[in-house]
Amino acid sequence: MNHRHILVVILIFSSGILFSQRLKSQKKSRSNVEKFILAPFPDAVDADSVKVVTFMEIPYYSLQFIKKESSYIAYYQASLSIRYYKGNEINNITWTDSIQVDLYTDTRSTMKNRKHYADFNVPLGKKYEVIGELQDLDTRKKGLLKKNIDFKGLEKKPSLLKPIFMLDLPGNWGFNTGKIPTRGFRVREIGLGVDMKISGFVAKNDYEVSIYLTNGTANDSLIQKFSGDGKLGYFSENIFIPSGKFNSIKNDFRILLEQGKENDEQEISFTRYKPSFSGYVYDVEIAMKQMKYILSNDERKELKNNNKQDKEQLFYQIWKKRDPTPETEQNELMEEYFQRVEYVNEHFSGWQPGWETDRGMIYILFGPPDEIQRTNPSAGNSTIYQIWNYVKVNKQFVFRDQNGFGDYRLDTPFIGSAGL
């Protein structure tokens, strides 16, 4: 039986428990109130300083809603601050607010959220830390996120800040009216296109900026160019990129700033949401490699000989053939496979990504074991074992950790392991 059939069989056997059953060694999961998003976006505002527009995005499901008459309400306190890295606080803004909805389903929504943002102006040449704090005023639970931003070395000109993707949204969001910054991660709607804000610092002479679409091709594709005289010592430009340039799930861009014989460059990616793809797939190239346990030899050859866009279509076709419910939008088999990949990457990564380890391979193919037995080293035997038992399919796998560093290997190779 090959791995493709193994995975289907295991899914049938374990459909009721796959998502609820996890290894005992699982890392402690974050509470909902810790699951907000903290995102700083830097923009050059003069020759010596940066404006850091910092967003906090609070998903509705991260708060406890209380029923009040015919609606539901959640109370919270949120704050954003910036400080010198391992130093004193520079600025802090706090909001005490509430969210009220009519439908209970909205209280558990992962799509609906409340946004807050703050502008922090800081000088070049230093490292900073932005901090987001969220407290649910009903449960009193707190969440804390920190992100480091390093502006050291930007005094050396020319230098680029990380570009920012901007989407249309009515209101003022710290940049041009009606434009909101986005992390560019699994974006659903982009309309006619996306703005890219490009800013940086230059000497007081002519400079040129080129924007390339790379997408893993042999030759970068030039999208646009702009230039300036450098008299201000900095620049900040919005460049419109039409939607036709975002054809892949993951779209890679390279921005090159040139001034005389000096240059600087930045790379940035924009990923799009596609309904027929798993929510755990962010890069088709990487996902293809992670599929090695279930691909046939013919499928491997076909993938190897195609360019990136053709591979994306082939990826879709490969999973469409394996879709247990082709009449629906979701491919449950694809979703389960890559959820397992996500799990093993989080829990089994070490010398190599979790999906490439022996435990990762078995977990991907068979799911969480029904039972795990662990042995401890004794005076006569320093070897540590894990024994995974799968009752419904009558299989047992023994993993040996001879060096004591958690690098578990199968004691007996799994017969028919694809690509291993």
Residue 306 CB coordination number (10 Å): 15
| Per-residue pLDDT, 170 | 92
Residue 1 is encoded by which pair of tokens? 């039986």
Output the pTM of the full model: 0.71
What's the burial of 229, exposed, middle or buried (CB within 10 Å: 0-12/13-18/19+)?
A: exposed
For residue 152, the model assigns a pLDDT of 93
Q: What are the structural domains, with CATH classification, of the chain?
A: 3-28+279-410 (no CATH), 31-153 (2.60.40.10), 156-273 (2.60.40.10)
Neighbours of 325 (CB within 10 A): 10
Q: Report d(CA 5, CA 287) in Å as an integer.
A: 19
Inter-residue contact 260 to 173 (CB < 8 Å): no
Predicted confidence pLDDT, tens digits, the chain (420 residues): 455 554 544 443 443 334 334 444 444 556 889 989 999 999 999 999 999 999 999 999 999 999 999 999 999 999 999 999 999 999 999 999 999 999 999 999 878 999 999 999 999 999 999 999 999 999 999 999 999 999 998 989 999 999 999 999 999 999 989 999 998 887 888 889 999 999 999 999 999 999 999 865 556 889 999 999 999 999 999 999 998 888 778 888 999 999 999 999 999 999 887 777 777 887 888 888 999 999 988 888 887 777 666 777 888 889 989 988 888 878 889 989 999 998 999 889 888 999 999 999 999 999 999 999 988 766 556 678 899 999 988 999 999 987 777 889 998 888 754 332
Residue 100 CA to residue 67 CA, distance in Å, equals: 10
CA distance 35 to 27: 16
Q: For residues 69 and 147, give the distance between their C-alpha atoms in angstroms, rounded to a whole number.
A: 40
Two structure tokens written together for 54: 């910092």
E strand or H helix at 11, and its extent?
A: helix 3-14
What gap in Å lies between CA 41 and CA 7, rounded to an integer? 42
Strands (E), 33-184: 37-46, 49-59, 66-68, 71-84, 89-101, 113-123, 127-136, 142-150, 159-160, 164-168, 179-182
DSSP state of 215: T
CB 50 within 8 A of CB 42: yes
pLDDT at 184: 86
Tell me phi and psi for residue 200, to 5 degrees. Answer: -175, -170
Residue 308 has a pLDDT of 64
Tokens for 275, please give them: 């309904």
- The number of angstroms, rounded, from the C-alpha of 328 to the middle of its chain's C-alpha atoms is 26
Q: What is the per-residue pLDDT for 418?
A: 35
Crossing angle (nearest 10°) for helices 3-14 and 332-347: 90
Q: Where are the beta strands (DSSP E) in 344-383?
A: 371-374
Secondary element (H or E) of residue 303: helix 297-304
pLDDT of residue 309: 65
Half-sphere exposure at residue 29, Cβ-oriented, CA atoms within 13 angstroms:
9
Spatial CA neighbour of 161 closest among 118, 202, 198: 198
- At 28 the pLDDT is 52
Q: What is the pLDDT of residue 218?
A: 54
Percent helix, strand, coil in the chain (nearest 5)? 20, 40, 40
